[in-house]
C-alpha cells in the first residue's frame, strides 16, 4: 500500500513541475545572465539551475561523442550524428555558459524555443566533437 501511494505521489510531483517541461531559451537566459555577470560566482538558486542545466546537456553531448567513436570510424551516418550531437571536454562550463548568454542576448527571437538546439550550436562552436 505504501508503494502505491509513493508511486502516485511521485507521478503527481513529476507532472506538477511544469518548469522542467516548459524550459525555453528565455528561461535559461534569465537564469544564466546574472550568473555570468557575477563572474560565475554561485550565489543564487538560479545560478545553480543554469550551471546544472547546461553542464547536464554538455555531459550528455560528451557521452555521445565518446560512445560513438568506433561507430563513427565505420559509418558516415554515425560520424555525422557524433559530430552533430556530440561535444568535447575541451572547454569549461563557464565558457559554454558565457557563449550561450552572448548568443541569446543577440538573438531574442530564439527565446521561445527549447535551449537544446542553441546549446548544440554553442558546443559545435567552441567544443566540437572531433
Q: How many domains does the chain have?
A: 1
Per-residue pLDDT reduced to its tens digit, 64-121: 999 999 998 999 998 999 999 999 999 999 999 999 999 999 999 999 999 999 999 9
Residue 6 within any structural domain of the chain:
no
Residue 7 within any structural domain of the chain:
no
Residue 117 within any structural domain of the chain:
yes
Q: What are phi and psi of 40, to 5 degrees?
A: 60, 40
Please give the model's pTM, rounded to 2 decimal places: 0.81
Integer CA distances (angstroms), 58 to 21, 90, 109, 118, 127, in order: 19, 11, 23, 12, 9
Residue 61 within any structural domain of the chain:
yes
Per-residue pLDDT reduced to its tens digit, 66-82: 999 999 899 999 899 99
Spatial distance between the Cα atoms of 55 and 110, rounded to a whole number of angstroms = 20
Residue 11 within any structural domain of the chain:
no
Residue 95 within any structural domain of the chain:
yes
Amino acid at each position: 500500500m505504501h508503494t502505491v501511494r509513493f508511486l502516485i505521489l511521485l507521478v503527481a510531483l513529476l507532472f506538477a513541475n511544469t518548469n522542467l517541461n516548459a524550459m525555453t531559451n528565455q528561461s535559461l537566459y534569465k537564469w544564466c545572465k546574472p550568473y555570468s555577470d557575477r563572474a560565475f560566482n554561485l550565489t543564487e538558486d538560479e545560478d545553480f539551475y543554469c550551471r546544472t542545466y547546461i553542464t547536464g546537456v554538455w555531459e550528455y553531448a560528451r557521452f555521445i561523442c565518446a560512445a560513438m567513436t568506433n561507430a563513427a570510424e565505420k559509418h558516415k551516418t554515425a560520424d555525422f550524428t557524433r559530430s552533430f550531437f556530440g561535444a568535447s571536454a575541451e572547454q569549461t562550463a563557464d565558457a559554454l555558459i558565457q557563449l550561450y548568454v552572448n548568443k541569446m542576448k543577440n538573438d531574442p527571437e530564439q527565446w521561445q524555443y527549447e535551449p537544446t538546439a542553441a546549446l548544440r550550436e554553442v558546443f559545435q562552436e567552441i567544443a566540437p566533437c572531433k
